[in-house]
Amino acid sequence: MSADQKVQSETDLRVKLDINNVFAEMIGQKHGLQRKELFDFKDEAVKAHQNILAAAEAGEMGFMELPHNQQEIVAELKQTAEELKDKFDNFVVLGIGGSALGNIAVQTAINDPYYNLFAEARDGYPRLFVSDNVDPEGVKALLAKLDPKKTLFNVISKSGSTAETMSQFLLARKFIAEAVGEDRVGEHFIATTSKDSGYLIEIAEREGMKKFFIPDNVGGRFSVLTPVGLLSAAMTGVDIEQLLAGAAYMDKICRENDFWQNPALVNALIQYLAYKKGKVMSVMMPYSDRLSDLADWYRQLWAESLGKEVDRQGNKVNLGPTPIKALGATDQHSQAQLYMEGPFDKIITFLEVENFAEELEIPKAYADLDGLGYLGDHNFAELINTEKWATELALNKRQRMNQTVKVPKVNEFTLGQLFYFFEFQTAVAGELFNINAFNQPGVELGKNYTYGIFGRSGYQAKKDEFENSAQKNEDLIL
């Protein structure tokens, strides 16, 4: 392919943001945004952008380096996948939050839109399972599906000590050891973790497991394009170079200084202004099964990054938009009523796929039944996108801010763009909200409590104390 052709195809595959329906002229004065408001705040967004670029220069924005600095890691990941993909029928990720959601999003988008239900493998590759909970019934049901001799586990934890992940690891380790013997445990595990924190690295070394590393300057929820997300992708036949190429392409777009040419800047400012106008809920609604789990991934990114008690100066602010996931067209029939007529507290972001890989015709039948016969004149791609347009029009009519991210088609290149776009937008939003978008003290408090209660000494006494604590009123236990 010549360089020109490449540019052409990249341009054709560019993910775009349509913001028409956030403006007053489309949805009405009361709830729409005035263009003037964007103009008035534009300089703040530009300043936020400059801060991010400066932080990137200083090596503080690890996620921005990932599309460019991983050639050796990619080669190693590909080689690992090549060596191991035929040896195992199952590849099981043990992780949670940022160590799981990106893996699932990639799988659903690229390999199997029904991944969560069936976990079908691509020809010549193992099936992928991502186990991100500690419900005993769920964990047991998963293990029951696996032949330990044909199963490779990827334990992923940046901190190397998350209780959920490490508990699953302990069980998986026993499961494997009983089948293949203690001395061969290491062959059935790959550890993805920080170079020097937590216990996972130490365990990996003791057991002789293969290891991949998560850079220190990349937070868990920004880590999908590190070995966290890339190994399971490579193991299941996903083109990880194209994922990173898509991210690199979007990186170029996001580095653009001109506000109006930079969708991540524009969208971060829109989300910020919407929040200030009382639209404190931010709904992501893909009209695509393949992009459904991307909305789950985004929910963590947006919630943990922006939901904060204090601003950068330490003032108590308790802010953050609440991210909500909805799936089109499915949730038109469950949540849309609320979005149409409920409180004016939401901004909705649709994800629209312009070209579906399948052109599935709706069969023609019952032509004499007026309210049904028309369906057979169309295909499913037309139907789902028409439903999206109809929802958009109805929201406009009811003065509900909405916008659309247009995805030319779902593949590795566009998925890489989406990951990077939303990460960059989140970093800009953090600047606008004047909070630290890269920490999560609230979650850590919960983690510490778990450790405090569950930790080595006196579990039963602490549990009893918690259950009998004065704050608990028996009358309120219904």
Ligand X SMILES: O=P(O)(O)OC[C@H]1O[C@H](O)[C@H](O)[C@@H](O)[C@@H]1O
Of 126, 186, 215, 220, the residue at the interface with ligand X (CB under 6 A) is: 220
Q: From the candidates 164, 241, 304, 352, give the one annotated as an active-site residue.
A: 304
Q: From the candidates 30, 316, 333, 474, give the one annotated as an active-site residue.
A: 333
Minimum CB–partner distance for residue 163 and ligand X (Å): 9
- Burial (CB count within 10 angstroms: exposed 0-12, middle 13-18, buried 19+), residue 291: buried
In terms of CB distance, is 19 or 214 closer to ligand X? 214
Q: Is the dihedral of CA 273, 279, 280, 283 positive or negative?
A: negative
- Asked if 425 interacts with ligand X (CB under 6 A), we say no
In terms of CB distance, is 119 or 191 closer to ligand X? 191
Tell me how far apart the alpha carbons of residues 42 and 32 are, in angstroms, rounded to a whole number.
17
Q: Among this protein's residues, is 164 annotated catalytic? A: no
- Asked if 90 interacts with ligand X (CB under 6 A), we say no
- Burial (CB count within 10 angstroms: exposed 0-12, middle 13-18, buried 19+), residue 297: buried
| Helix or strand (DSSP H, E) at 63 | helix 62-65
- Asked if 221 interacts with ligand X (CB under 6 A), we say yes
Minimum CB–partner distance for residue 442 and ligand X (Å): 8
In terms of CB distance, is 226 or 414 closer to ligand X? 226
Of 32, 62, 98, 416, the residue at the interface with ligand X (CB under 6 A) is: 98
In terms of CB distance, is 158 or 325 closer to ligand X? 158
Total number of residues binding ligand X (CB under 6 A)?
14
Length of the chain: 478
* C-alpha 106, offset from chain centre: 9
For residues 15-47, one letter each, b for 16 or more C-beta atoms within 10 angstroms of the residue's C-beta and e for the rest, the string is bebebebbbbebbeeebbbeeebbeebeeebbe
Of 96, 243, 270, 303, the residue at the interface with ligand X (CB under 6 A) is: 96
Q: Are strands 16-18 and 402-407 parallel, antiparallel or unpaired?
A: antiparallel
In terms of CB distance, is 102 or 408 closer to ligand X? 102
Strand stretches in 172-239, DSSP E: 189-193, 210-213
Contact 93, 103 (CB under 8 A): yes
Tokens for 334? 């469950």
Phi, psi torsion values for 193, nearest 5 degrees: -160, 180
Q: Which of residues 146-175 bind ligand X (CB under 6 A)?
A: 157-159, 162, 165
Of 70, 99, 262, 426, the residue at the interface with ligand X (CB under 6 A) is: 99
Tokens for 204? 């990996």
Of 97, 126, 286, 408, the residue at the interface with ligand X (CB under 6 A) is: 97
Q: Which of residues 287-316 bind ligand X (CB under 6 A)?
A: 304
Q: Among this protein's residues, is 150 annotated catalytic? A: no
- Asked if 423 interacts with ligand X (CB under 6 A), we say no
* C-alpha 313, offset from chain centre: 29
Q: Among this protein's residues, is 333 annotated catalytic? A: yes
Catalytically annotated residues: 304, 333, 447
Binding site for ligand X (CB under 6 A): 96-99, 157-159, 162, 165, 220-221, 304, 440, 443
